[in-house]
Amino acid sequence: MSINYKQRLNRIRAFVFDMDGVLTNGVFHVGGDGKPIRNLNSKDGYAIQLAVKKGYTVGLISGGNCDGVKSLLQKAGITDIYMRAASKLDAWSDFLSVYEHQDLKPEEIVYMGDDIPDYYLIEAAGVGCCPANAAPEIKQVSDYVSHRNGGEGCVRDIIEQTLKVQNNWMLQGDFAW
């Protein structure tokens, strides 16, 4: 008998997210300087900083690049940020090697992505998941499809579920987002 994703959340120690279509809604506004402007959800930010404060490792692997998003994630405590990742599998391998000394295994990681470049990471993770508006191929291989769209709380959804299963959800105090 295989275990469902909720049962696997008990062993999660790390979260890795895609940026565009997961942390953002994937819609870009272009500024006067020609650079894309991305929208982030404050509820996702709260959940990310809480996970970091509770001792979880949180990372980002993206083919895109945005200094503003990187800066905000660093303020929330994320140090493992892979942007302009030509190969997400290479970035994933690098992420795993960084935490090899902590014996972090793929089955202890949640990965959330929304499109074809995320396919193999969703399959490799202990819990592969995606937002409600992910590509059909990604929904098909995901262990969990959030009821929230990318950039609209899907990150909080999976972090909150994980922390609640592990009795780690509530925290008193300020947050950095």
DSSP H or E run through 119: helix 119-124
What domains sit in the chain, N to C, each tagged with a CATH number? 10-165 (3.40.50.1000)
Give the pLDDT confidence of 41-54 residue by residue, as tens digits: 789 889 999 999 99
All residue ranges of the chain with pLDDT < 50 are: 1, 174, 177
pLDDT of residue 1: 47
HSE toward the beta carbon, residue 174, CA cutoff 13 A: 4
pLDDT of residue 171: 58
pLDDT of residue 26: 74
CA distances from 90 to 17, 82, 96, 144, 159 (A): 15, 10, 10, 24, 24
pLDDT of residue 35: 75
Structure tokens at 91: 């970035």
Confidence (pTM): 0.90
How would you class 3 by CB atoms within 10 Å of its CB: exposed for 0-12, middle for 13-18, buried for 19 or more?
Answer: exposed
Q: Is there a contact between 122 and 128 (Cβ–Cβ < 8 Å)?
A: yes
CA dihedral over 49, 55, 60, 65, signed as positive or negative: positive
pLDDT of residue 64: 87
Residue among 165, 18, 13 nearest 104 (CA): 13
